[in-house]
Amino acid sequence: MGVGRLGYRLAEETEADWWEVEALYDLCFSPGRTALSSYRLRDRVPMVAPLCLTLRDDDDGTLAAVIRYWPALIGEADVLLLGPIAVHPTRQGEGLGGLVINESLAKARRLGWERVLLVGDAPYYGRFGFRRLDGVGMPPPTNPDRILGLELKAGAWAGVTGAVTKAI
């Protein structure tokens, strides 16, 4: 999947990308990132591979941005858990985070996913349509104000409440 006009190449993450993607997450987030509640929901759960994307510089192949998704459950409802997303510090401010978010959400919609969940900053993610979810709980110690959801299908969050659990 090309993004040639921007000088970047968007593609599904491959097994060969794994170490480089992890290094970018380590660079962008605190050393204790894997202790966050979201990681407990991802532990030993396969990623939703078609939605896990890498964005590389066309010229030198440098990894500029990445995004991953995981399946989760709220009661019996399937939920797509977005994150983490990272943009290399030297590439921040170029709109690359928005690019991988928009591309991956469009693909999630095409694949039939109905709802997306994340833990994040409402002012940033609000521009993509994410809103605070009342009645949805992440494992502690998650700030409830940071639990955000997006409907990929109209009404998809209606009646979906409770604790977020691992999809096994």
Backbone φ and ψ of 33, nearest 5°: -55, -35
Task: Report the SS3 class of residue 142.
Answer: coil
Number of separate domains in the chain? 1
Q: What's the mean per-residue pLDDT of the chain?
A: 91
Which residue range is the domain that position 135 belongs to?
Answer: 2-166
Beta strand extents in 75-153 (DSSP E only):
77-87, 115-119, 131-132, 136-137, 147-151
What pLDDT sits at residue 35? Answer: 64
Task: Say yes or no to pLDDT of 96 above 80.
Answer: yes
CA 82 centroid distance within chain: 3
pLDDT band at 6 (very low <50, low <70, confident <90, very high): low
Task: Say yes or no to pLDDT of 94 above 50.
Answer: yes
Q: Tell me the residue type at 99.
A: L
Question: What radius of gyration do the chain's Cα atoms show?
Answer: 15
Per-residue pLDDT of 27-67, as tens digits, reads 988 777 766 677 788 888 999 999 999 999 998 999 999 99
Among candidate residues 16, 13, 126, 123, the one with its CA nearest the CA of residue 65: 13
Per-residue pLDDT of 132-141, as tens digits, reads 999 999 988 8
Task: Say yes or no to pLDDT of 5 above 90.
Answer: no
List, in order, residues 6 or more apart from 143 with CB less than 8 Å away: none
pLDDT band at 2 (very low <50, low <70, confident <90, very high): very low
Name the one residue in this structure whose structure tokens are 């000088």: 7
Which CATH number characterizes residue 37's domain? 3.40.630.30
Task: Say yes or no to pLDDT of 158 above 90.
Answer: yes
Tell me the sheet residues that pair with 9: 2, 56
